[in-house]
Amino acid sequence: MVTAPPALKLTYADYCRTPDDERYELLDGELIVAPAPNSAHQITVMELGTLLHMFVKARHLGQVFFAPYDVVLSETDVVQPDLLFISNERAYIITPANARGAPDLVVEILSPSTAERDRSFKRALYARYSVSEYWLVDPDTRTVTVLLLDDGAFVEVAHYGAGQTLTSPTLTGFTVNLDDIF
């Protein structure tokens, strides 16, 4: 009986040797090239990211990062969330080159090329590495789904639409009217 050779899994060291002219992620050892985001994605990440950054900075709560910024979850899992928040209590995961560990909050802005991966593979990945809160932001439907980690899996705690005000369980006091980000 002939068996297929084992699939090659790349590591963080391999990932670091990729050219910097593309946006890459390393998911379970597989190098993924992400196309440039569309205009709606860019506008949404800028609007939401600015509000999130201003809130965190004014209260000295930690750091907000925008993609591209590597989050090294393991030697075979390196992601670049659109937005992420790392609290002062977890600041030890921030290095000069990247974050090494799970952020407190990860925000993925859905794009046609990434939406399925963000909703499934990355949702499971972020849960496995204990990201506390995960937002799925959909510029097409103008909605935000807020998920919280509960016993090793994400549970949807809120789904916001046009005209509604998002609140964050992790960032107490943070609110944003969705009409201000879409």
Lowest mean pLDDT among 34-38, 75-79, 87-91, 117-121: 34-38
Segment 5-35, tens digit of pLDDT = 567 888 989 888 888 777 888 999 998 888 8
Question: What pLDDT is attached to residue 61?
Answer: 98
Q: CA-to-CA distance for 143 and 182, rounded, in angstroms?
A: 9
3-state helix, strand, coil in the chain (%, to 5): 25, 35, 40
* Residue 60 covered by a domain: yes
Question: What pLDDT is attached to residue 4?
Answer: 59
* Residue 6 covered by a domain: no
Number of Cβ atoms within 10 Å of the Cβ of 22:
12
pTM: 0.91
Q: CA-to-CA distance for 42 and 59, rounded, in angstroms?
A: 26
* Residue 4 covered by a domain: no
Segment 140-158, tens digit of pLDDT = 999 999 999 999 999 999 9
* Residue 2 covered by a domain: no
Q: How many domains does the chain have?
A: 1
Question: What pLDDT is attached to residue 1?
Answer: 52
Q: What is the span of the domain harbouring residue 76?
A: 12-180
Pair of tokens at residue 75: 């030697």
Question: Cβ contacts of residue 128 below 8 Å, gap of 6+?
Answer: 152
Tokens 């950054």 — which residue?
53
* Residue 5 covered by a domain: no
- Residue 63 backbone dihedrals phi, psi, to 5 degrees: -130, 145
Q: CA-to-CA distance for 128 and 1, rounded, in angstroms?
A: 36
Question: What pLDDT is attached to residue 14?
Answer: 87
**Structure confidence at residue 2 as a pLDDT band (50, 70, 90):** low
CATH number for position 171: 3.90.1570.10
Q: CA-to-CA distance for 106 and 122, rounded, in angstroms?
A: 10
Question: What pLDDT is attached to residue 19?
Answer: 80
Quick one: average pLDDT of 39-59? 97
DSSP output for 92-110:
GGB-SS-EES--SEEEEE-
* Residue 7 covered by a domain: no
Question: What pLDDT is attached to residue 181?
Answer: 96
